[in-house]
């Protein structure tokens, strides 16, 4: 029997507020009712509505991560109808850029990156396929319960579709350690731990990881509870699938027979099938009897760490390997056979040349997109004493955390775990998720510690509002867009962000909106949009803009290849995560490197130049108006006009307008959502 809901008091674990059932408060019945009731109690008044120009820029940056085009602004200003705002809201919620903006928010939590992490930090060419799934799911407003179930257990759904399996890429974003000398079991266990902890943080707002080595110090999670949760993810393995995007299958299948024939010929000409079979036998022998031949021992160790699924493929009979598996092992064989033969023999074989020919041939086969996914794999789980994988204790079976209401399933599988996370009785998930959405709109969550709803987290500033939103979320069929709409339609959201007094300095009570510095991605996207350079293509593989020409040079920030050990400087400078763990709340720092970045980075200089060019031909006043409209969504006032005219006249004519454009792209106002 759960205690009745009481809020606002720091509870001992058993009475922790966040574990009490979500209850729909009786009154008031909308966001503003709750906010105003609290303000009134404190003797405060809400701020007036922000001007329309500010509002549309705010809404556009918040919903799609891009500033409004001047035409969009003009249309909104001209629209005097009662539902003018609602129409903008609905237009932007329907925009395919919505999935990008809010997809990136989810990817922070999914610790997404395009590389393995650790020393080798190998590129993950297929990671983007999961990102694509996220963007599509958000654009379709996939209900959050389904969104959850597919990502955690899509592979276990009856007759799972390709997309449902691609969704399980969520837990393929863990780091992979391929450092020489590491025990593969050690990093497998580390990955399972990461999957367990990430699930706890993202859905439950609980630091379950604290119970990895000992019972949780603050929240009611024992070490045994932890490993029973761990068991769900321990009974899963990594897998890989073809995940073609629309239109890819046809050309691929058509070209395949010819490709296969040529490939067979190239391999046969160098006697690869026979040599590889011999090599495989040697590797299996080395694995079975280490210490006999040192060079083979090392070669086998390297296969285990350097080759994706290397050992697994080696141990799969050749006839049972998938196309992809055969290709991986052959490529590895060609690259590494030289290690167990003499130098002379290596030079004679010239496998490097063959590898090049094969790579050339690969280019003739229209590619199929692929996706890293998860699949079930039975495995016994033991509690790890002090969290040490070499120190297993008692055997445990998978079980849901006992601190939350049970679903009654006796032998739960991963699918049951996912369903339990989004069951109506789970008091955490809905609160945690609406709080994170709220946080993006106001700069802080109703619970400031968006990653921790445990006893070490903070209590909500507006507990009833949080529960009201959580109820609306669940009762509204877990529609995320519905929650977004509720929030941006509120007067609280539409308030001015101008600071009126020193009262409530942290703006906890929301007597105004907050000025929020844009994310790294949004800063780039805004500069590209204002300058007209932006390539607004949605989805697809990651890009390296500095090395690209054409459209890939101007893609949105979220598509920049995320290498964990060498993140893009803009991302580092403006607090984007590098994907080492689930991040529920970004910092908003303010540093001189940010200034240098916006002042001098060639990408921003290029944007300034393009913005100057885009507005060419007009007289001073008109040109300045146009630039202001593109960057700030407003017109300059007399002071600004005078300052910029004086500045312009000091500059050499060739770069004068580029300078003006750069000034606008550097303004605090430009990189801030007001």
Partner 1 sequence: MLTRRQLLQSALAPTHFPASARAVIFLFMPGGPSQIDLFDPKPELRKWHGKPLPVEATKDLKLAFIKPNANAVASPRQFARHGGSGAEISDLLPHTARQADQLCIVRGVHTDAFNHDPGELMLMTGSMQFGRPSMGAWVNYGLGSESRNLPGFVVLSSGAPPSAGTNDWSNGFLPSAYQGTQFRRSGDPILYLSSPEGFTREMQRSRLDVIRRMNEKRRRETGDPEIDARIASYELAFRMQSAAPELLDLSSESARTLEMYGVNREPTHQYALHCLLARRMVERGVRFVLVSHGSWDDHNDIDKGLDKNCRITDQPSAALIADLRQRGLLDSTLVIWGGEFGRTPMTQQQRTDIGYGRDHHPNCFSMWLAGGGIRAGVTVGKTDELGLEAVEDRIHVHDLQATILHTLGLDHLRLTYPHSGRDFRLTDVAGLVARKLLRRPPA
Question: What is the footprint of partner 1 within residues 444-473 (CB under 8 A)?
Answer: 449, 451-452, 454, 456-457
Indicate the residue among 122 and 482 with the shorter CB distance to partner 1.
122
Q: Which of residues 532-571 bind partner 1 (CB under 8 A)?
A: 564-567, 569
Q: Does 119 sit near partner 1 (CB under 8 A)?
A: yes
Minimum distance of partner 1 from residue 388's CB (angstroms): 11
Indicate the residue among 65 and 457 with the shorter CB distance to partner 1.
457
Taking CB under 8 A as the criterion, the residue among 578, 615, 625, 631 binding partner 1 is 578
Those residues with Cβ within 8 angstroms of residue 116's Cβ, 6 or more apart along the chain or in another chain = 122, 124, 175, 176, 177, 178, 564
Q: Which span sits near partner 1 by CB under 8 A: 317-325, 416-424, 546-554, 651-659?
A: 651-659
Q: Which of residues 610-649 bind partner 1 (CB under 8 A)?
A: 639-640, 643-644, 647
Q: To which H or E segment does residue 237 belong?
A: strand 236-242
Distances (CA, A) of 540 to 67, 127, 468, 546, 618: 23, 10, 37, 18, 38
Q: Which residues partner with 516 through β-bridges?
A: 673
Residues 137 and 106: beta-carbon distance below 8 Å:
no
Q: Which of residues 507-536 bind partner 1 (CB under 8 A)?
A: 515, 517
Taking CB under 8 A as the criterion, the residue among 601, 620, 634, 641 binding partner 1 is 601
Number of H helices, E strands in the chain: 29, 6
Residues 283 and 314: beta-carbon distance below 8 Å:
yes
* Closest by Cα among 389, 66, 5 to 230: 389
Q: Which of residues 161-180 bind partner 1 (CB under 8 A)?
A: 175, 177, 179-180
- Phi, then psi, of 85 in degrees rounded to 5: -65, -45
Q: Which span sits near partner 1 by CB under 8 A: 269-277, 379-387, 478-486, 579-587?
A: 579-587
Give yes or no for a cis peptide into 28 (omega within 30° of 0): yes
Indicate the residue among 325 and 497 with the shorter CB distance to partner 1.
497
Sign, CA dihedral 55-57-61-64, equals: positive
Minimum distance of partner 1 from residue 169's CB (angstroms): 20
Alpha carbons 60 and 91: distance in angstroms, whole number: 10
Alpha carbons 655 and 648: distance in angstroms, whole number: 9
Size of the site for partner 1 (CB under 8 A): 75
Taking CB under 8 A as the criterion, the residue among 246, 317, 408, 602 binding partner 1 is 602
Taking CB under 8 A as the criterion, the residue among 67, 99, 117, 244 binding partner 1 is 117
Minimum distance of partner 1 from residue 550's CB (angstroms): 23
Q: Which of residues 193-232 bind partner 1 (CB under 8 A)?
A: 201, 207, 210
Taking CB under 8 A as the criterion, the residue among 275, 341, 599, 635 binding partner 1 is 599
Q: Does 580 sit near partner 1 (CB under 8 A)?
A: yes
Q: Which of residues 290-319 bind partner 1 (CB under 8 A)?
A: 291, 294-295, 298, 301
Minimum distance of partner 1 from residue 669's CB (angstroms): 5
Indicate the residue among 141 and 219 with the shorter CB distance to partner 1.
219
**DSSP string of 307-342, one letter each residue:** STTHHHHHHS-GGGS-HHHHHHHHHHHHHHGGGGS-
* Closest by Cα among 22, 200, 152, 144 to 483: 144
Q: Residue 82 corresponds to which tokens in the numbers above? A: 């009662």
């Amino acid at each position: 029997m759960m205690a009745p809901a009481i809020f606002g008091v720091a509870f001992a674990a058993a009475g922790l507020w966040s574990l009490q059932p979500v209850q729909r408060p009786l009154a008031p019945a909308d966001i503003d009712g709750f906010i105003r009731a609290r303000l009134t109690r404190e003797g405060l008044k809400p701020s007036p509505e922000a001007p329309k120009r500010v509002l549309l820029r705010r809404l556009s940056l918040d919903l799609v991560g891009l500033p409004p085009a001047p035409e969009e602004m003009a249309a909104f200003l001209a629209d005097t109808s009662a539902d003018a705002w609602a129409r903008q809201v609905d237009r932007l919620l329907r925009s395919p850029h919505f999935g990008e903006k809010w997809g990136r928010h989810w990817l922070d939590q999914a610790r997404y990156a395009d590389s393995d992490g650790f020393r080798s930090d190998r590129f993950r060419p297929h990671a983007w396929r999961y990102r694509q799934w996220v963007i599509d799911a958000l654009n379709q407003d996939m209900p959050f319960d389904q969104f959850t179930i597919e990502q955690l257990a899509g592979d276990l759904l009856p007759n799972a579709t390709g997309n449902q399996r691609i969704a399980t890429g969520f837990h393929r974003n863990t780091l992979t350690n391929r450092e020489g000398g590491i025990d593969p079991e050690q990093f497998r266990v580390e990955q399972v731990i990461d999957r367990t902890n990430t699930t706890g943080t993202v859905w439950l707002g609980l630091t379950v990881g604290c119970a990895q080595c000992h019972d949780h110090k603050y929240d009611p999670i024992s070490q045994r509870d932890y490993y029973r949760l761990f068991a769900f993810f321990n009974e899963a393995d990594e897998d890989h699938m073809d995940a073609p995007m629309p239109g890819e299958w046809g050309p691929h299948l058509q070209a395949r027979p010819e490709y296969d024939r040529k490939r067979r010929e190239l391999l046969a000409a160098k006697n690869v099938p026979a040599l590889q079979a011999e090599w495989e036998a040697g590797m299996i022998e080395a694995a079975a009897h280490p210490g006999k031949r040192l060079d083979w021992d090392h070669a086998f160790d390297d296969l285990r760490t350097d080759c994706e699924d290397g050992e697994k493929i080696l141990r799969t009979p050749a006839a049972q390997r998938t196309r992809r598996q055969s290709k991986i092992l052959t490529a590895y064989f060609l690259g590494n056979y030289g290690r167990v033969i003499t130098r002379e023999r290596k030079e004679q074989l010239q496998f490097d040349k063959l590898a090049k020919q094969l790579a050339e041939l690969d280019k003739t086969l229209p590619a199929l997109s692929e996706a890293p996914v998860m699949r079930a794999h039975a495995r016994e789980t033991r509690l790890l004493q002090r969290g040490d994988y070499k120190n297993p204790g008692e055997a445990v079976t998978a079980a849901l955390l006992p601190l939350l209401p049970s679903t009654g399933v006796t032998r739960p599988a991963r699918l049951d775990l996912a369903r339990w996370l989004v069951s109506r009785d789970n008091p955490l998930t809905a609160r945690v998720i609406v709080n994170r959405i709220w946080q993006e709109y106001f700069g802080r969550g109703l619970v400031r510690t968006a990653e921790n709803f445990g006893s070490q987290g903070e209590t909500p500033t507006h507990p009833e509002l949080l529960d009201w939103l959580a109820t609306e979320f669940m009762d509204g069929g877990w529609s995320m867009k519905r929650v977004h709409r509720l929030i941006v339609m509120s007067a609280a959201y539409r308030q001015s962000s101008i600071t009126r007094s020193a009262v409530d300095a942290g703006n906890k009570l929301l007597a105004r909106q907050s000025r929020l510095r844009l994310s790294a991605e949004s800063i780039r996207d805004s500069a590209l949009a204002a300058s007209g350079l932006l390539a607004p293509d949605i989805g697809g593989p990651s890009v390296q803009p500095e090395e690209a020409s054409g459209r890939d040079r101007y893609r949105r920030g979220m598509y920049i290849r995320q290498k964990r050990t060498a993140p893009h400087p803009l991302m580092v400078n403006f607090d984007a995560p590098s994907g080492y763990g689930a991040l529920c709340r970004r910092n908003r720092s303010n540093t001189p490197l940010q200034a240098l970045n916006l002042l001098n980075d060639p990408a921003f200089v290029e944007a300034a130049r393009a913005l100057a060019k885009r507005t060419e031909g007009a007289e001073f006043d008109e040109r300045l108006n146009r630039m202001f409209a593109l960057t700030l969504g407003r017109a300059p006032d007399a002071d600004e006009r005078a300052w910029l005219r004086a500045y312009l006249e000091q500059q050499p004519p060739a770069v004068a307008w580029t300078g003006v454009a750069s000034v606008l792209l550097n303004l605090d106002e430009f990189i801030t959502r007001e």
